Structure 1
Amino acid sequence: MAFIYTDRLILIPFTTEILTSIENDEGALLKANKLVYSKGWPDEDALETFPKIKRNLALVTLPTGFESWLIVKEDGLAIIGDAGFKGRPDHDGRIDLGYAIAAGERKNGYALEAAEGLMNWAFQQQGVRAVTASCLKSNAGSAKLLQKLAFKELSSDTEMIYWLKKSF
């Protein structure tokens, strides 16, 4: 699986080996590739998603791109977050996008840049017709980001807003 390069970021697919190295607090595999943790990563949100990432990776021999990716700043090779999809396209050609940036790296446009890179990649893949996303109603920053990415609000409930972006 190839990396995705944006203006300032490198998106690297998670592998079982990378995830195990991070979970065991070894980081040897990352250090061997000159990657470092940014301050505050992995945070509580990242640690909470690791079991889900591990389950998705267990379903494939090698990463397909429809799993999770590390978000790395090209300048300094610091891991600042993670983003990705929750699996292959469903029967309607939809994939669900999620993203998280370490608190100290927010408000620098990294989530927008990573999400754009992932969506550009996704819409080039066979069978992908739309990307969905959701965010807490209280997360105004995430809602603003999804609007910038031309997502349309589909629905909401007491806690969440659900979004959709169709392919180009």
Structure 2
Amino acid sequence: MLPLDTARLLIYPCRLPLLTQIYLRHPDAGEVIQAHIPDEWPQQDLREQLPHFIELLQHDPASYPWMLWIIVSKADKTVLGDIGFKGRPDKNGVVEIGYALLPPHRGQGYMKEAATALVAWAFQQPHVRKLIAECDITNTSSRKILQHLGMKETMTSGEMLHWHLLNK
């Protein structure tokens, strides 16, 4: 059932109209998810990816919900960050996860909670066999989240660590 509902969070997958509103910084975007969207969200990396996500959903509607999900605090109905996938699973059932929290909300367990819920959702989908991720070698917080999820480090490539988790 969507959105994903955890102890402290609601995690909403984004359909094309909402992605477009977020990209255009439309004032009504928050109404769709019934939450306040802080001025600093989306962060720079996501802002740069939004046109790609929009184009992908325009040409491949089946990419929903394999893109952006918005993390919302139940307590104050505020967007804390985002999580999602870099596209739908490939022909081998592999999907890549990515995530980011706004700085004031880091270190409080929100991303562990959101990532745990999203990974559980992904592995409930019949065609998902493997989850992969990458993180900067210096990003200790991200490494802790990936370890918490049970992911195994597979290799280092330059400044990036690569991870995977098989669906049981």
Tell me whether 37-46 or 69-78 shows the greater mean CA deviation: 37-46
**Residues 5-46 of structure 1: CA deviation (Å, up to 9, x unaligned):** 111111111122112222222221323653102463222222
Match of 1:56 in 2: 56
TM value normalised by structure 1:
0.90
Q: Which runs of 5+ in 1 are unaligned?
A: none
Moved over 4 A (4+): none
User: Could you tell me how far apart the structure 1 residues matched to 2:15 and 2:56 are?
Assistant: 10
Q: What's 1:6 paired with?
A: 6
For residue 134 of structure 1, report the CA deviation from its aligned partner: 0.3
Q: Could you tell me how far apart the structure 1 residues matched to 2:37 and 2:115 are? A: 20
Quote the offset at 1:56 in angstroms.
3.1
Note closer, same or farther for the CA distance 1:66–1:23 as it changes in structure 2 (3 Å cut).
closer
- Tell whether the 8 Å contact from 1:40 to 1:104 is kept in structure 2 after alignment: no
**Cα-to-partner distance string for 1:144-167 (whole Å, 9 max, x where unaligned):** 111111100111112100000011
Secondary structure of the corresponding residue to residue 50 of structure 1: helix
Indicate the RMSD between aligned Cα atoms, in angstroms.
1.8
Q: Tell me the matched-pair count.
A: 168
Pair 81,146 (structure 1): closer, same or farther in 2 beyond 3 Å:
same
Residue type of the alignment partner of 2:106: R
Identity %: 34
Asked if the contact 1:66/1:88 (under 8 Å) is kept, the reply is yes
Q: Which residue in the other structure is 1:22 paired with?
A: 22
Q: Contact 1:13–1:63 (CA<8 Å) still a contact in 2?
A: no
Cα displacement (A) at 1:87? 1.8
**Equivalent position of 2:79 in the other structure:** 79
The answer for unaligned runs of 5 or more in structure 2 is none
Q: Which residue of 2 aligns with 1:115?
A: 115
